[in-house]
């Protein structure tokens, strides 16, 4: 072994030891798992290689051989375990499961890329009939080059000096008074024409005095002259406040990012784009759903990754030329002398978690949800915050029920809220399909099949709203409860479909996400009601209690049983809410532990101040600054966390760390709530609503109800 090879192997051994030992300690949240043991052995093997390299060639040769075999065995075990888990999840949840399986495979490939070639080199180089180490080194270099090509994306900062000069010039601008009683919205899909000039520029969106149309202009000038050019353009066009100014300070090409980083070459809400002299500001690209259209994995359409080049090109006229990325710093001139720095269309302000701020946010989302209810009782599903256009057709019973549940649990006792609750319950009751003494809720004219989730979550809503409406729906509650019991298998799990004409529950290939947890939660509430009400309209208390016991036994033991169950979970929030609801009348240690295990897993996905993300992403769910962290996922996490905190409190466990995590999410929700007072490009219909993330602006009713439920939990636990 040459001196150069010895040094290289020693350094690589040390570099490999660190991530393996870290993974053994940090990734499994339970101690002494097979994964942690094998990973620790592999890490110790590579650490021994680093030490042996300092001792001598003979010791290094033997140690390298053993460590290489240990690392290859680790990889083969991971391949078997992760592969088995991926197949399990794919079979359990269908399309979503296949998306998760793809993510598991990508993670395993990323872990194997540096370690497996090094281990193969070690086996070959230390074998009696070894190949030359140079060939293995070349192979390793090629693998690393292919895998890491293009992973670095420039995250250039705007020229703060120029941005400050623009802000100061805007503060001194004198604009005519608006001829409208309320500030106009400034959304426009039209690109600004910046010509062929290269250099500092500013995109301005405003309305002129007496002109209802939105003006979108481009001012191009040397950096020293740009602030004055902006003010002169506003004066010549007779602009009235508010004015949205997006000064373009950084230019680059997204085509050079490489195949791995290409989807992230445009940062949502921070980067605009130009093509052939026409430019769209960052807020326009977001409003046009440029970051919610690309689906790189055809088998998992719900996964949207990065920006969509076809959408951006089409919005800019469709020319075949190269796209140009433009970084931006945004300002809103609300009134003469009043300039606000914006970040992703919003006033860049920290989220407050005092009681007044949380109550104001909860009150705003309550108004949004009440305004979204139609005369029939149905809640409109989606609203475009820039146009006010909505979608009332894409609704379903679980979303309707979830919104009603949030209103019953966290709404005030005003007439408006009470009326909204009754109208929604009446609307859901209209979809009852009775089969003997069973009832299920079904949407559609043919009504051939009933789904578990379409009945389970509405039943939770009917039971949770009972203190507001009394016993009005008790007969329906009883029939829906009997349906859930009829859907339960002997092992405690639930069938997903019911054939109405054949009057029988049927098995399907895949479980539905959330449905079984909702069924357990509904039965837990029904058990409590049956224990208090001696009514022929409800199932027997003993029957319901037995069904709850079977379900808790199953989900505590047989449900989530795959090789890496200690590391990976999916969405199990409803099991935590069911465990919380059962604290007063049906404790089950294993089921409560299942909830806490899941909550511990989810804690790791919360982005905190130590995650290295931007301040606006703290409190959300995500992986890095590459992708906008999900507001909706953060709200869902907070719902589950609040339920897990109740379970922990009942078990005498500490809550200080949970309270701090909950505070981070509450601050995020306050920051990301759509408020027309903070947004110059959105309409009144958006006030109080929530969207998926800064990259996906559409407001959805389920995002609003999850955020409302999270805010309600925050008010309870952050006292």
Cis amide bond preceding 242, omega within 30: yes
Count CB neighbours of 165 within 10 A: 18
Q: What are phi and psi of 257, to 5 degrees?
A: -80, -20
Instruction: Give the mean pLDDT of the chain.
Output: 82
- Report, as an integer, the average pLDDT of 82-109: 60
Residue 431: its pLDDT value, please?
96
Residue 68: pLDDT band (50, 70, 90) is confident
Contact between 659 and 667 (Cβ < 8 Å): no
Q: Give pLDDT, residue 527.
A: 97
- State the average pLDDT over residues 227-252: 81
CB atoms within 10 A of CB 431: 17
Give the pLDDT of residue 405.
97
pLDDT band at 528 (very low <50, low <70, confident <90, very high): very high
Q: Band the pLDDT of 100: cuts 50, 70, 90.
A: low
Assess contact for 505 and 487: CB atoms under 8 A. Answer: yes
Task: Over range 662-689, report the average pLDDT.
Answer: 88
Please report, for the chain, the start and end positions of each structural domain, with discontinuous segments joined by +. 3-148, 160-347
223-237, 284-298, 433-447, 654-668: which has the minimum mean pLDDT?
284-298
Q: Residue 157: which pLDDT band, with cuts at 50, 70 and 90?
A: very low
Per-residue pLDDT band at 611 (split at 50, 70, 90): confident
Q: Is the pLDDT of residue 31 over 60?
A: no
pLDDT band at 470 (very low <50, low <70, confident <90, very high): very high
What pLDDT does 138 receive?
A: 47
pLDDT of 299 > 50? The answer is no
- Tens digits of per-residue pLDDT, 533-566? 888 889 999 999 999 999 999 999 988 877 767 7
C-alpha to C-alpha distance for 401 and 403, rounded to whole angstroms: 5
Least confident range from 138-142, 641-645, 701-705: namely: 138-142
> Any idea which of 311-320, 377-386, 487-496, 660-669 has the lowest mean pLDDT?
311-320
Residues composing the chain? 719
Query: What's residue 521's pLDDT?
Result: 98
Average pLDDT on 264-277 reads: 82
| Residues 6 or more apart whose Cβ sits within 8 Å of residue 635 | 665, 669, 690, 703, 706, 707, 709, 710
pLDDT value for 665: 93
Residue 349 has pLDDT above 80, yes or no: no
366 SS3 class = helix
pTM of the complete model beyond 0.95: no
Instruction: Provide the pLDDT for residue 295.
Output: 54
For residue 420, the model assigns a pLDDT of 97
Tokens of residue 343, six digits: 């970040």
């Amino acid at each position: 072994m040459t001196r150069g090879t010895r040094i290289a192997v020693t350094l690589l051994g040390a570099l490999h030891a660190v991530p393996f030992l870290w993974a053994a300690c940090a990734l499994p949240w339970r101690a002494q798992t097979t994964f942690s043991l094998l990973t620790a052995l592999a890490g110790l093997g590579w650490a021994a290689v680093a030490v042996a390299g300092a001792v001598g060639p003979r010791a290094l040769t033997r140690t390298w051989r053993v460590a290489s075999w240990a690392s290859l065995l680790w990889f083969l075990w991971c391949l078997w375990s992760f592969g088995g888990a991926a197949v399990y999840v794919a079979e359990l949840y269908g399309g979503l499961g296949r998306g998760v399986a793809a993510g598991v495979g990508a993670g395993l490939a990323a872990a194997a890329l540096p370690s497996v070639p090094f281990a193969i080199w070690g086996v070959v180089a230390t074998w009696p009939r070894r190949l030359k180490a140079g060939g293995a080194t070349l192979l390793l270099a090629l693998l690393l080059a292919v895998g890491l090509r293009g992973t670095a994306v420039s995250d250039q900062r705007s020229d703060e000096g120029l941005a400050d000069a623009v802000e100061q010039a805007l503060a001194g601008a004198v604009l005519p008074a608006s001829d409208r009683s309320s500030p106009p919205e400034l959304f426009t899909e039209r690109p600004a024409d910046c010509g062929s000039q290269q250099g500092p520029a500013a995109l301005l969106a405003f309305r002129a005095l007496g002109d209802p149309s939105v003006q979108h202009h481009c001012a191009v000038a040397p950096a020293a002259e740009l602030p004055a050019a902006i003010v002169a353009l506003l004066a010549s066009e007779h602009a009235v406040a508010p004015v949205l100014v997006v000064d373009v300070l950084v230019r680059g090409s997204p085509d050079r990012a490489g195949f791995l980083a290409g989807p992230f070459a445009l940062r949502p809400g921070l980067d605009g784009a130009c093509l052939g002299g026409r430019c769209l500001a960052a807020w326009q690209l977001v409003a046009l759903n440029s970051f919610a259209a690309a689906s790189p994995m055809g088998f998992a359409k719900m996964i949207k990754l990065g920006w969509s080049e076809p959408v951006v090109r089409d919005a800019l006229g469709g020319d075949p030329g190269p796209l140009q990325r433009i970084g931006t710093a945004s300002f809103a001139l609300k009134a003469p002398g009043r300039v606000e720095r914006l970040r992703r269309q919003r006033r860049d302000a920290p989220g407050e978690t005092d009681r007044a701020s949380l109550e104001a946010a909860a009150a705003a989302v309550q108004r949004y949800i009440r305004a979204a209810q139609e005369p029939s009782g149905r809640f409109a599903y989606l609203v475009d915050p820039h146009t006010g256009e909505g979608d009332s057709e894409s609704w379903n019973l679980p979303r309707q029920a979830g919104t009603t549940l949030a209103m019953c649990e966290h709404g005030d006792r005003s007439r408006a809220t009470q009326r909204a609750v009754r109208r929604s319950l009446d609307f859901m009751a209209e979809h009852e399909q009775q089969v003997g003494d069973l009832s299920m809720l079904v949407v559609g004219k043919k009504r051939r099949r009933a789904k578990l989730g379409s009945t389970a979550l509405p039943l939770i809503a009917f039971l949770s709203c009972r203190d507001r409406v009394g016993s009005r729906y008790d007969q329906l509650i009883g029939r829906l409860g009997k349906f859930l019991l009829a859907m339960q298998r002997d092992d405690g799990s639930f069938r997903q479909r019911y054939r109405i004409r054949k009057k029988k529950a049927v098995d399907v290939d895949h479980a539905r996400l959330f449905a079984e947890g909702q069924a357990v939660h509904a039965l837990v509430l029904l058990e409590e009601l049956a224990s208090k009400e001696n009514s022929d309209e409800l199932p027997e208390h003993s029957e319901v209690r037995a069904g709850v016991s079977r379900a808790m036994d199953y989900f505590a033991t047989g449900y989530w049983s795959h090789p890496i169950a200690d590391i990976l979970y999916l969405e199990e929030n409803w099991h935590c809410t069911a465990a919380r609801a059962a604290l007063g009348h049906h404790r089950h240690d294993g089921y409560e532990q299942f909830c806490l295990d899941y909550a511990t897993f989810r804690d790791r996905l919360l982005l905190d101040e130590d995650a290295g993300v931007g301040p606006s992403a703290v409190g959300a769910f995500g992986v890095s600054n590459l992708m906008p962290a999900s507001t909706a996922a953060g709200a869902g996490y907070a719902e589950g966390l609040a339920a897990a905190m109740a379970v922990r409190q009942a078990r005498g466990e500490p809550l200080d760390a949970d309270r701090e995590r909950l505070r981070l999410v509450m601050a995020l929700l306050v920051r990301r709530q759509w408020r027309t007072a903070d947004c110059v490009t959105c309409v009144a219909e958006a006030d109080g609503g929530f969207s998926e993330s800064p990259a996906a602006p559409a407001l959805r009713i389920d995002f609003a109800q999850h955020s409302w439920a999270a805010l309600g939990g925050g008010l309870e636990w952050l006292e």
